């Protein structure tokens, strides 16, 4: 898709809405000057769905006007089930995952903040430990992404418990001089503490910045319509032929985090990733999961 877009000279944008956030735009590429060399970052998806989760359903006739066969696309055919589509597909690994649902947004924001493209190694741990619903993805999962530059990103999915989330933001970045918690409404910087054998004093000042607005958008109570801004930018770029805020390449690279995390979990292995060749270099069984056999007449 990326190659075709470049050849055709079409304007294509991806809906990773934090790219439309003026807060994240303000901090992109400036994190290190604020908090020093970043070696660790984290984000979580926390939603305690115990005890019922997405429920347990049986196949039923598809709703009138809903083309179930087209919705399934190249995936194997199965009978329609209410807790699969149109919304619940996020809890089925054949169609998505919570790593693919929430993880892509957070990983995109973090890698954008620190100027990274892709991880070099990925490991994932977790399972369906508590919920007895129909889902076939974990209700508890932790993923680690390693980078050659010297960075580890942690992403956690907690849908069977309520853990302490990041105070003051949705993403945390930890540097040699301080920590930054950031979301679409603002950011907080707290100074680092000297560790063992160190006698330096505070290296950065506490800092707090908030977007001032009485308007709230969506379930996350965002004070700025970042999705609307992203759409507006795309339409403007169609006219100007400029590059949009979230390119197809950006969308592809950030989505790759989710696919690689799910493959690492499926294979129970730490996989090593060559982002240029787009191949897993240490596990051929994992490589085979980069694609799947399409249902006829779909083809690639």
User: Cα separation of 155 and 67, whole Å?
Assistant: 35
Percent of the chain with pLDDT over 90: 93
**Stretch 109-130: mean pLDDT:** 98
Please say if the pLDDT value at position 119 is more than 80: yes
275-295 burial: b if 16+ Cβ within 10 Å, else e: eeeeebeebeebeebeeeeee
For residue range 62-94, list pLDDT tens digits in order: 999 999 999 999 999 999 999 999 999 999 999
User: Cα separation of 22 and 146, whole Å?
Assistant: 28
User: Cα separation of 194 and 197, whole Å?
Assistant: 8
- Other beta carbons within 10 angstroms of residue 175's beta carbon come to 23
pLDDT confidence tier of residue 109, bands split at 50, 70 and 90: very high
pTM of the model: 0.95
Taking all residues of the chain, what is their mean pLDDT, rounded to a whole number? 96
| Residue-level pLDDT at 281 | 98
| Residue-level pLDDT at 126 | 98
Question: Residue 141 in 3-state DSSP?
Answer: strand
**Stretch 156-163: mean pLDDT:** 97
The pair of structure tokens assigned to 81 is 């089930």
> Environment class of residue 120 by beta-carbon count within 10 Å: exposed (0-12), middle (13-18) or buried (19+)?
middle
For residue range 179-210, list pLDDT tens digits in order: 999 999 999 999 999 999 999 999 999 999 99
Lowest mean pLDDT among 49-53, 56-60, 161-165, 212-216: 212-216
Domains of the chain plus CATH, in order, are 2-290 (3.30.360.10)
| Residue-level pLDDT at 33 | 94
DSSP letter (8 states) at residue 100? I
| Residue-level pLDDT at 272 | 98
Question: Residue 255 in 3-state DSSP?
Answer: helix
The pair of structure tokens assigned to 103 is 């993880």
User: Cα separation of 142 and 61, whole Å?
Assistant: 37
Please say if the pLDDT value at position 229 is more than 80: yes
Enumerate residues 6+ apart whose C-beta is below 8 A from 239: none
- Other beta carbons within 10 angstroms of residue 188's beta carbon come to 20
Lowest mean pLDDT among 40-44, 166-170, 220-224, 279-283: 220-224
Beta-bridge mates of residue 125: 142
Phi, psi of 262 (to 5 degrees): -70, -35
């Amino acid at each position: 898709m990326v190659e075709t877009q470049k050849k055709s000279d079409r304007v294509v944008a991806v809906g990773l809405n934090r790219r439309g956030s003026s807060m994240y735009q303000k901090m992109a590429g400036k994190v290190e000057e604020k908090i020093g060399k970043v070696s660790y970052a984290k984000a979580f998806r926390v939603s305690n769905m115990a005890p019922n989760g997405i429920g347990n359903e049986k196949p039923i006739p598809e709703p009138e006007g809903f083309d179930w066969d087209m919705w399934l696309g190249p995936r194997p055919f199965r009978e329609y089930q209410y807790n699969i589509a149109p919304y619940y597909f996020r809890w089925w690994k054949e169609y998505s995952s919570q790593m693919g649902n929430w993880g892509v947004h957070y990983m995109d924001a973090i890698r954008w903040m620190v100027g990274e493209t892709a991880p070099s190694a990925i490991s994932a741990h977790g399972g369906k430990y508590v919920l007895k619903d129909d889902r076939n993805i974990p209700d508890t999962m932790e993923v680690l992404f390693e980078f050659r530059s010297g960075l580890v990103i942690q992403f956690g999915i907690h849908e069977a418990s309520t853990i302490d989330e990041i105070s003051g933001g949705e993403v945390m970045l930890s540097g040699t001089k301080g920590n930054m918690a950031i979301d679409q409404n603002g950011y907080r910087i707290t100074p680092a503490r000297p560790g063992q054998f160190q006698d330096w004093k505070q290296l950065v000042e506490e800092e707090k910045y908030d977007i001032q607005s009485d308007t709230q958008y969506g379930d996350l109570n965002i004070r700025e319509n970042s999705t609307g801004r992203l759409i507006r930018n795309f339409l403007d770029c169609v006219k100007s032929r400029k590059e949009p805020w979230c390119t197809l390449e950006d969308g592809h690279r950030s989505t790759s985090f989710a696919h690689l995390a799910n493959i690492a979990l499926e294979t129970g292995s730490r996989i090593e990733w060559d982002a240029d060749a787009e191949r897993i270099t240490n596990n051929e069984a994992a490589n085979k999961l980069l694609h799947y056999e399409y249902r006829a007449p779909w083809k690639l």
